[in-house]
Amino acid sequence: MTIAITGGAGFIGTVLAQQLIIAGRSDLRLIDIRRSEAFPELTFDADVRDEDAMLRALQGVTTLYHLAAEHRDDVRPISKYYDVNVQGGRNVLKAARAHNIRQMIFTSSVALYGLDAGHSKEEDIPKPFNDYGASKLESESDFKTWAAEDPQRRLAIVRLVATFGPGNRGNIYTLMEQIARGRFVMVGRGDNCKSIAYVENVAAFLRHIAQGPAGSHLYNYADKPDLSMNDFVRTVRVALGYQGQGLRLPYAMGLCGGYAFDTLAKITGRRFPISAVRVQKFCANTIVDARRAGDSGFTAPHTLEEGLRAMIAAEFPDHKKAA
């Protein structure tokens, strides 16, 4: 039985592969457009946008984790979200049909619930606020169609929150780096809450749900309890050797600053850690109900604070000494 992971050289894919190997699985295939630094010998060089490459890559596979995605919030052109997330998913599904793959675990996103959507549950009507969320929602529909075609097929869709951990260079790392460099300014009151997840817990959950009855199954995944932005920033600052909350700006002023950086990015062609959409996301309540994941019998092996401290120790090992 061969297990394949699209996006296997990526952040979550690498941790998932590590956990599977530790659990005794040697029949792994990591499918990616770049070679895995951790497991080069397991990498199958293929792009999900290449239909023929997917047909070759998935031959002999029995269980597929589909993690490959375009997810940054500053991707240009916008069409890349749909090329990778939608058409890439369709290429994966075509190969899965050709090779009679009967089990897939697909990582989607809570971005499809919308901005400031409240306490989002799996049964809520999706209202994506950006093209990333819209592309993930469209791809979910394609995967559900695949599952419905054969009663023996099994699909688990996992809508992930922002996921962090050592080696990640997403928004949470950017925020930590700004705090570490003394450049962070809290925008807004900071009482809004964020559902986030530690990558080791995410990988453990993906392994956990690769079993069970046939059919289509949908889960939100987030580590609980949720942190307010004040709590998050305070935890990171303390771990880095700082005291207190630091500087603070009103929301309107911070949003204006985000638009200013957007304009500068268009003029210079550079990417900046601050943008209007990142300010909006930072100040929004992004809370998801993850009780269904808990009801599946899963218990996260790490707390959020343990995960944050592990990431800080790995990414900023000398900072506390210097602070």
Model confidence pLDDT, tens digit, residues 42-99: 999 999 999 999 999 999 999 999 999 998 777 788 899 999 999 999 999 999 999 9
Give the residue numbers annotated as catalytic, written as ranges.
Answer: 132
**In sequence order, which ranges of 23-152 are alpha helices (DSSP H)?**
51-57, 79-81, 88-98, 131-148
pLDDT digits (tens, 9 = 90+) for 10-25: 999 999 999 999 999 8
- The reply to whether 150 falls in a domain is yes
Q: Look at residue 100 and tell me if it is in a domain.
A: yes
**CB burial string 233-244: b at 16+ within 10 A, e below:** bbbbbebbebee
Q: For the residues 240-258, what does the mean pLDDT come to?
A: 88
Asked, for residue 237, whether it belongs to a domain, the answer is no
Q: Is the dihedral of CA 137, 143, 148, 152 positive or negative?
A: negative
Does any domain span residue 68? yes
Query: How far from 305 is each of 179, 193, 198, 231, 299, CA to CA, in Å?
Result: 17, 15, 9, 10, 16
In a domain, 188, yes or no: no
Q: Kindly state whether residue 298 falls inside one of the protein's structural domains.
A: no
Distance between the two ends of the chain, CA-based, in angstroms?
A: 51
CA-only gyration radius of the chain, Å: 20
Residue 203 domain-assigned (yes or no): yes
- CATH number, domain with residue 99: 3.40.50.720
Question: For the chain, what is the mean pLDDT?
Answer: 93
Which structure tokens are listed for 221?
């995944």
The tens digit of pLDDT for each residue in 94-147 reads 999 999 999 999 999 999 998 777 789 999 999 998 899 999 999 999 999 999
Which of 84, 96, 205, 79 has its CA nearest to residue 143? 96
Classify residue 136: in a domain, yes or no: yes
Distance CA 233, CA 303 (A): 16
Q: Mind listing the pLDDT tens digit for each residue in 172-220?
A: 998 899 899 888 889 999 999 989 999 999 999 999 999 899 999 999 9
The answer on pLDDT for 318 being more than 90 is: no
| Encoded tokens for 173 | 């790392």
| Total of domains in the chain | 1
* Segments forming the whole domain that contains residue 92: 2-167+195-223
